A and B are shown apart, each in its own frame.
Chain A
Amino acid sequence: MSDFFPKQFFLFDPLSLFFLFVIFIISLPSAVYSLGYLKGGYSSAKITLAWFLLLIFVLSMAFVVTVSNVLVFLVFWEIMSLISYFLVVFDTKHEKSIQAGMIYIIMTHIGTAFLIAAFMMLYKHAGSFDFNAIKSACQIMPGQTKNIIFLLLLAGFGTKAGIVPLHIWLPYAHPQAPSHISSIMSGVMIKTAIYGIIRFVIYILGVQSSWWGILLLVLAGITCLVGIIYALMVRDIKRLLAYSSVENIGIILLGVGLAMFFQSMNMPYLAILSMIAGLYHLINHAIFKGLLFLCAGSVYKATGTRDIEKLGGLIKKMPQTAVYFLIGAMGISALPPLNGFVSEWLTLQAFFLGALNIIGGAKVFLVICAAILALTSGLAAACFVKAFGITFLALPRSNYAKDAKEVPLSMKAGMFFLSLLVIVFGLAAVKIIKILALVSSSVTGFDISSMSFSFNNFTLSPQADKHIYLSTPLLALLLIVLGVAGFVIYRLFGRGKTIIYNTWDCGYYKIGPRNEYTATAFSKPFRIAFSFFLLPYRKTQKIRESFYHVKSFAYETYTTPVFKRYIYEPLLALIFKTAKSMRKIQLGSIHLYLGYIFITLVLLIVFIRQF
């Protein structure tokens, strides 16, 4: 029984500290932001409640990544899930919030069920709930058990992280919470699942065979593509960001999966490099997704709508928010010299060096994974051109956007801080990589004293002897110098005057917001190109005055929610059907129920004797 009361509760190794840093660096600006965001929108009692929930939410996440006991971990994990459920349904007046909360709490508990199963198996072998005790017990665990535990952990944490096809709750739940909470949920909470995978699979269980890594890579690749294709389709700005979180979790897991793969092949350098890439993208995603959700919240606060088809022209009404959103969008689209670029480059580099150095057919597999990453990054750029362009540029498409006002200082402060981080994490890549190398080394157990990932203080170099370099400060400097040079040329050569005039309207009549391109139109080529997956369909309706004159024309376009339609709905139908047939044994007689309990007891005793 003494095992139930552990002597040591906390673990502050580099991995825990890294995640603690991620949690607080996103939560602090979000909390500052919420000062302005909550004001005016909610009653004072509700604001107090929001602060209370936020505090517990952040603390529970902090405990999740620092406790060193499986049982305590599970308790805080559950607190985190429950509090985030309350935050999802915080706007109780929305019907959608309740529904989103329902989907979320069911999915998250299915995930927890898998985790409990995995943890019980671990306990059975180790006889202890302590991380280190389990870790040492895992070294003598039979391979078959390890495989089962791995799959259970993957399903459990995968649900929280939003790996396809377990991502179904994420695009419902994240947008529904108040924006500063969305930013923490997408920026940080789903990362605790990555923490779980790294902590339990890589650190405690130990990567056993290469198919673990390959399985994770395949899932991650699918997650990337599915996430970004859906993000391109939606027109609710917060849902777009939520789907993009699914995509980015995929990119992070490409790094982590690759690290597992190399670890099983016993290639320390590449394992560390991939782990660095994954962790780097993890913190990058926390920063820019946190930032983008805060910006989306500002837009929502200022306009009252999240539908980007009704927005537009906000760059003039909310100039600062627009700049912050642009920086976040550039970061997430992996544009140099910002942070997303560095981590995606590192991930590609890890794939390249892997394909170069390993032996056998897996080379081609790694090359294809890299191509998927490239496609994802191209689609992400398109997605954020759409998100920024339709929301902030051109003319306002509705009165919502026309009357928008810039948000208060506290909200701007939160966004300013995070957009600064996007730039800093791009430029200070070498410093960050050195820290991440320490974290990766403590997780994988490989010695990094002889490894070098940088050429000098400004230049990354995964392989210096092969002259593979990347220097974001130098790139930034060059871009600025040559941009200024372009400006000088522009001033020197031009004598002509600049006239402000209408947009070209084909000499027809003055064009207005109705002539602007819409988000749905912007994504149409993608909808058609990926129609095999999206299964789009449309409804058209003509309202006629007479046979010759059509008064109005209604056109609606939809995409089929493939996972909901072909996986979750049949599953639910099956569950209901089973439940219905179970009713046959529920006759309402108490004697019968006592009989059932007795039979169950006997069966359990037999089960325990047998196994």
Chain B
Amino acid sequence: MFKIIIIILQLILFIIISPVLSGLISKIKNNIRMRKGQGILQPYYNLAKLSSKGEVVSETASWIFRITPFVVFASMLVSALLIPVFILRSPLNHAGDFLALIFIFSLGRFFLALSALDTGSSFGGMGSSREMFISSLAEPAFCMAVFAVSLQFGSTDISAFSGAHTIAVSSIVAGVTLFLVTIAETSRIPVDNQETHLELTMVHEAMLLEYSGRSLALIEMAAYIKQMILFFLIAQIVFPITLPVYGNLPQIFFWILWYLGRIIIIAIAVALVEVSVAKMRLFRVADFLGLAFVLGVIASVCAILGV
């Protein structure tokens, strides 16, 4: 029973909280640029608006296009359930580990890329091709970050590093690697730009171009959840705290505050990166992710050396 409550709480937490992170990042960016900017809650308004609107589906599209929002949404929620939030071992800890997370992410992406090709629009194809390009280069870096953390703590269990008391060098480097991967995976500047709808530069947005209404709302929601998962992981690696093995509720709510505090720090870092660098050309992204990969290897070597 306790487990089911935890599962439901975790789902609700991710669904409720995750959009605010994007709102926060965009608010910080706008403030740094001396603009007033949209409110922090804007993503919610967007979602509400999208779900009340009608939907246009391309006549070219097949059932792939129709099921993709659900596959993407489900795969992100599954990933959200695998990571420990309230108690040390997530109730669904047995379903998969840190390495499995990489593959579950790629499930959603695979379908999104297919749906982009499904409508026959060349924007979609462009987005699909570029997204697969970026993600396939991000994969080894992601894998290295996972390896570094797992080697440091002796297990690929996601809960393993949630019990850490001290910060190791390898954890910090792995955290930075994961941060770079996150920038690529959540389509942030300098890899991609969420705010643009310019044909020649958009990557993730190009894939979603044909989606509208409720389907788009689900996919956006999935993207928010993915972002929050990655922020959670970075936060837990770089600012580790020991989670209670068996939760007692007051303690859990205390942790939530600290948890969210750490995530906000990551969000600020992402916003700072976004305002301070320019977007790269697509083929420079290979260098960017190459850097992430090298950092990941360094993190693994640090973990092997035990520092």
A interface, CB within 8 angstroms of B: 312-313, 315-316, 326, 330, 333-336, 341, 344-345, 348-349, 352, 355-356, 363-364, 367-368, 370-375, 377-379, 381-382, 384-386, 388-390, 393-395, 455, 459, 463, 466-471, 474-475, 478-480, 482-487, 489-490, 493-505, 511, 513, 515-518, 521-526, 528-529
Contact = CB atoms under 8 A, between A and B. Distances in A.
A341 to B, nearest CB: 5
The 5 A-B pairs at the shortest CB distance, nearest first, are namely A517-B125, A378-B136, A496-B54, A378-B139, A389-B117
A484 to B, nearest CB: 8
Contacts of A467: 89, 93, 155, 157, 159-160
Given A385-B132, A494-B214, A504 B121 contact: yes
Contact of B69 (A382, A479, A486): A486
A364 B304 contact: yes
Given A352-B150, A367-B147, A516-B122, A490 B214 contact: yes
B125 to A, nearest CB: 2
A478 B81 contact: yes
A333 B58 CA distance: 27
Contacts of B102: 374
A486 B210 CA distance: 19
Contacts of A466: 154-155, 157, 160
A459 B92 CA distance: 11
B107 A335 contact: yes
A528 B217 CA distance: 34
A478 B74 CA distance: 8
Interface of B: 51-64, 69-71, 73-75, 77-78, 81, 89, 92-97, 99-100, 102-104, 106-107, 109-110, 113-114, 117-126, 128-130, 132-133, 135-140, 142-144, 147, 150-151, 154-157, 159-160, 209-210, 213-215, 217-218, 282-283, 286, 293, 296-297, 300-301, 304
B297 to A, nearest CB: 7
B154 A356 contact: yes
Contacts of A381: 106, 109-110, 132, 135-136
A521 B159 contact: no
A525 B135 CA distance: 12
Contact of A474 (B61, B95, B136, B144): B95
Most buried by B among A344, A372, A381: A381
B58 A502 contact: yes
Contacts of A459: 94
A327 B125 CA distance: 21
B95 A468 contact: no
Given A374-B102, A378-B140, A511 B114 contact: no
Nearest to A353: B156
Contacts of B117: 385, 389-390, 393-394, 517
10 contacts: A348-B99, A371-B296, A389-B114, A478-B81, A490-B214, A493-B217, A498-B213, A499-B56, A504-B121, A515-B121
Nearest to B114: A389
Nearest to A395: B120
Contacts of B124: 517
